[in-house]
Structure 1
Amino acid sequence: MENTFIMNQGNGVVRIADEVVSIIAGIAATEIEGVAGMSGGITHGIAEMLGKKNLSKGVKVNVGESEATIDLFVVLDYGVRIPDVTRAIQEAVKQNVETMTGLTVLEVNVFVQGIKLQGTGDKEKDEIKLK
């Protein structure tokens, strides 16, 4: 059984799956301007770009009794100011997860896995990957 966050609300129990927290965090992250997509991590030295459709991938959550820590693996657009974009990601993820689930988010860690270039139409040339 997958991990769940359990709330007793008096009328019964509400269970929120970790996958739900991951999806909320993924959506919040990809809505930030400058985020090209989520990264599946390092596979054979290459950052696997997952785009904006696979929203729970590239997100790792650790949910406790009433708090969570979240790790996000992202690919950013070329030319953005990385500290500004990552700070915006942290703030949006924290706010959305706390508002939608009632969890207290202790940490949002952002790992920049690559940079996406614009415009050539060649996927291999449009993304700078980690080695």
Structure 2
Amino acid sequence: METKDNMDQVTHTDIGVIKIADEVVAIVASLAATEVKGVAGMSGGVSAGIVEMLGRKNLSKGVKVEVGEKEAAVDVFVIVEFGASIPDVAQQIQKRVKEAIETMTGLKVVEINIHVQGVAFEKPESKDVESQRVK
């Protein structure tokens, strides 16, 4: 008798089993969210920072997923660009993430919560003050 691993979404077919890891669902959500205009980046926690310090890119950074047999719930943690309409950006993230997960995995997305963790400002072109003083 097969037991369902908590880390995978399992689908049984006539010729075998299809397993989709929770991490894959999180990566799909993260990539979809970063495509939305007004999203400056994803906001990861301490563990995401540790993974990046070890030289590995964390593609699921800023996303937490809860995956059942047929449904998924998603929390997305983002940094929004200064000047962007936060409600509009959040709604676009919800739309894109839902479409991407449902299209790519066949899971029904029942909830997408957007957590705006910060605002990114454009860095003004700064002139090197020290080099000006020595000229």
- Is TM-score (shorter-chain normalized) higher than 0.5? yes
Of 85, 89, 93, the residue aligned with 1:85 is 89
Could you state the TM-score of these two structures normalised by the residue count of structure 1? 0.81
More helix by share: 2
**Is the radius of gyration larger for structure 1 or structure 2?**
2
Kindly tell me: are residues 112 and 121 of structure 1, through their superposed partners in 2, closer, same or farther at Cα, counting changes over 3 Å? farther
- 1:55-110 superposed Cα distances (whole Å, 9 cap, x missing partner): 20110000011100000000010000000000000000000000000000000100
Q: Identify unmatched segments of 5+ residues in structure 2.
A: 127-135
For 1:86, the aligned partner's letter is: A
Partners of 2:93 and 2:14 lie apart in 1 by: 34
For 1:82, the aligned partner's letter is: I
- 1:7-52 superposed Cα distances (whole Å, 9 cap, x missing partner): 01211000000000000000000000000000014x6xxxx7x8xx
More strand by share: 1
CA contact (8 A) 1:25 1:96 kept: yes
For 1:26, the aligned partner's letter is: S
Could you state the TM-score of these two structures normalised by the residue count of structure 2? 0.78
CA contact (8 A) 1:4 1:18 kept: yes
RMSD of Structure 2 on Structure 1 (CA): 1.9
In the alignment, structure 1 residue 118 sits paired with structure 2 residue 125: no
Partners of 2:59 and 2:32 lie apart in 1 by: 9
For 2:85, the aligned partner's letter is: R
Aligned to 1:6: 10
1:120 positional shift: 2.8
1:121 positional shift: 6.1
| Identical positions, percent | 53
Partners of 2:96 and 2:103 lie apart in 1 by: 10
In the alignment, structure 1 residue 62 sits paired with structure 2 residue 39: no
Partners of 1:104 and 1:120 lie apart in 2 by: 43
For 1:39, the aligned partner's letter is: S
